């Protein structure tokens, strides 16, 4: 691949960026925590350098106390945070990287209980995703805030940031001023379009005054709010023009407010599915424009760069710190691609936990999981080529150990081989491709279609055997169970499915199977569980979009019942609320009733032979079968061997 655009430098005032990729702002959940300071600095430093993103933008750094986004945010108004910022910029510069500070104010999205001061907004209107009614800003408050932005800009420059990004999208304070949905003021800061844009423009002017003429200012503006009664497409273009007129150096186009009910970055959104607004803005201004959302592949980035000046890729750098170095070195197959699952990044951020990555658990742990060859080379045998086993093999090999991997099926990939059949989970292919490439590159000996017996294992004289033998689907005890089909058969295309379907089990897999069937044109689907809610266990950022999609496609759900009997014609249940029996007709009944650990008997007494055994992933704990934990455990036993529990 000959890169024409990706590695073309771009000049922003005094700053030269060596390529056209910005690592977009992400809240990491490590900011402002003393314990996580080293983790935060190592995270950004690892992503810096000649072949790192042209520019990194930090997570939002609050310009004033009431604008904090919650726990673990940095603030320009806290002395000690300025010390951390200086350490951060020094470390990034030492690694030859470039980093911009995001000037942030949450407005009505702030939590007064966490911040200890009431939240504020242009008008006292509560957000639908929030309990608090913010206080209306007075004219004096607004003028003070402009000074806070200016002060933040001055401090950002003083502590060594190479640029600032003014956060004006995603429904935060500046966006709240811009939108008629949230700005009902009748003074000069609200009402008509000019008045609503006044705050954004005054912030830009104050920051420009503070940082001087040679310093780059990025303005992150919303290209599409995706909430009712908000800015119009015409207003969005007008705003971009005004920002250009008032000396923004580059426009970074955000999509969707946090309170929007339209999924914008989940796996179900096609790659670059929201690029249109950035293209429209690009046609209307002469300053550079950055496109964002679901751009996870350098080839796609290159294509977009024929129409845009830069692309923003945030989560893809969580998944692979060396994404651009690999692209430059023509090693695209080695890229660990972000699959847009949100499970270890956004879901963690919403839970107030430090961010990491499902496909790269080293993200956020770079300071303690250093990659250096082990002093003593171990012989490691991994049994099971699902994600837990593949990661255990990969990370041991990366640390210089000799690794053999056995997989009973004809291909490695485990549950991901099933998940990739779900229409919205095509990205899982990338993870399987990544592991295949890496295991080969690192010299892991892979044996497929083979279940070694204990003697074969002993013949390796292993220092460590990793049992990553995964799970088997649970077959509940229900009379007539033989008439039901376990979900793996359906997903691998071996089971016949009629027009009217019942799925027993309404967890993540039940929802996935529903998507699979919808794609095949089957819409009469009833998801059942005995107690509880549909889709329990799915991450916060994915669940609502997934359930909304299923509902829109006619999938129905019932709970509070017990299963009595499965027949070729359907399912007999008892309604636990009425105590009455009912017969639910169905052509096909599918079992998605969870999984059970799979540890074949032949391995059970291995530990008595004096070998270190580690059981990981679904084999260790099927109840919470989840890819995030499985991959994490695979890496952990390599990077923290002292934590291996000998079984």
- Residue numbers annotated as active site: 172
Concatenated DSSP letters of 527-545: EE-SSS-TTTTS-HHHHHH
Q: Which of 156, 358, 467, 555 binds ligand SF4 (CB under 6 A)?
A: 358
**Is residue 629 at the binding interface for ligand NAP, with CB under 6 A as the rule?**
no
- Alpha carbon distance, N-terminus to C-terminus of the chain: 48
**Is residue 529 at the binding interface for ligand NAP, with CB under 6 A as the rule?**
yes
Min separation Cβ 521 and ligand SF4, Å: 29
Residue 443: C-alpha distances to residues 360, 378, 393, 401, 405 (Å): 20, 14, 10, 10, 11
Concatenated DSSP letters of 12-74: ETTEEESSSEEE-----S-TT-GGGHHHHHHHHHHT-STTS-SEEEEEEEESSGGG--SSS-E
Q: Please state, in angstroms and rounded to a whole number, the distance separating the CA atoms of residues 32 and 79.
A: 11
Min separation Cβ 448 and ligand NAP, Å: 24
Among ligand NAP, ligand SF4, none, residue 506 binds (CB under 5-8 Å by kind): ligand NAP
**Is residue 530 at the binding interface for ligand NAP, with CB under 6 A as the rule?**
yes
Which range touches ligand NAP (CB under 6 A), out of 195-203, 289-297, 383-391, 586-594? 586-594
Of 641, 608, 330, nearest to 464 (Cα)? 641
Question: What is the radius of gyration, based on Cα positions, of the chain?
Answer: 27
Q: Please state, in angstroms and rounded to a whole number, the distance separating the CA atoms of residues 10 and 7.
A: 9
**Is residue 386 at the binding interface for ligand NAP, with CB under 6 A as the rule?**
no
Q: Which of 39, 204, 207, 339 binds ligand SF4 (CB under 6 A)?
A: 339
Strands (E) in 176-244, as ranges, are: 217-224
**Is residue 341 at the binding interface for ligand SF4, with CB under 6 A as the rule?**
yes
Strands (E) in 63-126, as ranges, are: 74-75, 99-104, 120-121
**Is residue 343 at the binding interface for ligand SF4, with CB under 6 A as the rule?**
yes
Q: Which of 505, 570, 617, 634 binds ligand NAP (CB under 6 A)?
A: 505
**Is residue 538 at the binding interface for ligand NAP, with CB under 6 A as the rule?**
yes
- Residue closer to ligand SF4, measured from CB, 318 or 616: 318
* DSSP percent split of the chain into helix, strand, coil, nearest 5: 35, 20, 45
**Is residue 532 at the binding interface for ligand NAP, with CB under 6 A as the rule?**
yes
Residue identified by tokens 């000037």 is 103
Min separation Cβ 588 and ligand NAP, Å: 17
Among ligand NAP, ligand SF4, none, residue 318 binds (CB under 5-8 Å by kind): ligand SF4
**Is residue 344 at the binding interface for ligand SF4, with CB under 6 A as the rule?**
yes
Q: How many residues bind ligand NAP (CB under 6 A)?
A: 26
Residues 304, 279 contacting (CB under 8 angstroms)? no
**Is residue 157 at the binding interface for ligand SF4, with CB under 6 A as the rule?**
no
Which range touches ligand SF4 (CB under 6 A), out of 66-74, 234-242, 333-341, 600-608? 333-341
Q: Which of 106, 145, 210, 345 binds ligand SF4 (CB under 6 A)?
A: 345
Q: Where does this chain bind ligand NAP (CB under 6 A)? A: 343, 474, 476, 504-510, 512, 529-532, 537-539, 542, 592-595, 624-626
Q: Where does this chain bind ligand SF4 (CB under 6 A)? A: 315, 318-319, 338-345, 357-359
């Amino acid at each position: 691949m000959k890169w024409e655009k990706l590695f073309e430098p771009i000049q922003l005032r005094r700053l030269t960026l060596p390529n056209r990729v910005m690592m977009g702002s992400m809240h990491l959940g490590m900011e402002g925590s003393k314990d996580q300071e080293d983790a935060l600095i190592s995270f950004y430093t690892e992503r810096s350098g000649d072949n790192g993103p042209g520019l990194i933008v930090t997570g939002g750094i609050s310009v004033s106390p009431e604008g904090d986004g919650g726990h673990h945010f940095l603030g320009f108004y806290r002395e000690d945070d300025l010390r951390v910022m200086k350490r951060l910029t020094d470390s990034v510069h030492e690694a030859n990287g470039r980093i911009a500070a995001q000037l942030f104010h949450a407005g009505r999205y702030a939590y007064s209980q966490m911040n200890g001061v009431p939240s504020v907004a242009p008008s006292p209107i509560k957000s639908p995703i929030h309990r608090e009614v913010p206080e209306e800003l007075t004219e004096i408050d607004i003028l003070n805030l402009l000074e806070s932005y200016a002060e933040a800009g001055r401090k950002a420059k003083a502590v060594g940031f190479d640029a600032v990004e003014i956060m004006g999208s995603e429904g935060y304070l500046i966006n709240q001023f811009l939108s008629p949905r949230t700005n009902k003021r009748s003074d000069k800061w609200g009402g008509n379009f000019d008045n609503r844009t006044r705050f954004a423009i005054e912030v830009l002017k104050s920051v420009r005054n503070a940082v001087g003429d040679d310093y780059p200012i990025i303005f992150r503006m919303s290209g599409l709010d995706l909430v009712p009664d908000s800015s119009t497409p015409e207003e969005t273009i007008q705003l971009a023009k005004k920002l250009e007129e008032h000396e923004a150096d580059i426009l970074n186009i955000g999509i969707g407010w946090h309170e929007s009910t339209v999924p914008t970055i989940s796996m179900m959104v096609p790659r670059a599915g929201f690029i249109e607004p950035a293209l429209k803005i690009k046609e209307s201004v002469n300053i550079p424009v950055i496109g964002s959302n679901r751009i996870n592949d350098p080839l796609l980035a290159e294509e977009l760069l024929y129409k845009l000046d830069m692309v923003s890729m945030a989560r893809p750098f969580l998944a692979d710190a060396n994404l651009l170095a690999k692209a430059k070195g023509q090693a695209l197959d080695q890229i660990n691609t972000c699959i847009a699952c949100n499970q270890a990044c956004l879901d963690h951020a919403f839970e107030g936990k430090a961010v990491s990555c499902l496909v790269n658990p080293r993200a956020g742990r770079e300071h303690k999981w250093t990659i250096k060859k082990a002093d003593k080379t171990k012989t490691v045998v991994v049994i099971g080529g699902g994600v837990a086993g593949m990661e255990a093999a990969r990370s041991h090999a990366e640390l210089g150990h000799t690794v053999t991997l056995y997989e009973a099926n004809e291909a490695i990939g485990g549950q991901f081989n099933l998940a990739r059949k779900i229409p919205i989970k095509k990205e899982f292919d990338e993870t399987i491709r990544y592991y295949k490439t890496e295991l080969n590159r690192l010299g892991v000996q892979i044996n497929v279609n083979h279940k070694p017996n204990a003697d074969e294992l002993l013949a390796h004289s292993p220092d460590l055997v990793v049992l990553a033998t995964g799970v088997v689907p649970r077959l509940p005890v229900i009379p007539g169970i033989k008439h039901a089909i376990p979900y793996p058969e359906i997903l691998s295309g071996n089971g016949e499915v009629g027009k009217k379907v019942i799925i027993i089990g309404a967890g993540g897999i039940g929802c996935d199977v529903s998507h699979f069937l919808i794609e095949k044109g089957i819409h009469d689907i009833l998801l059942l569980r005995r107690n509880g809610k549909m889709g329990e266990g799915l991450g916060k950022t994915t669940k609502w979009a997934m359930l909304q999609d299923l509902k829109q496609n006619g999938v129905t759900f019932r709970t509070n019942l017990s299963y009595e009997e499965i027949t070729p014609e359907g399912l007999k249940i008892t309604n636990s609320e009425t105590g009455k029996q009912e017969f639910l007709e169905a052509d096909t009944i599918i079992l998605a009733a969870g999984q059970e650990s799979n540890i074949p008997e032949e391995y059970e007494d291995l530990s008595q032979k004096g070998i270190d055994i580690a059981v990981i992933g679904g084999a260790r704990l099927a109840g919470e079968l989840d890819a995030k934990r499985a991959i994490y455990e695979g890496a952990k036993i390599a990077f923290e061997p002292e934590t291996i529990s000998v079984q």
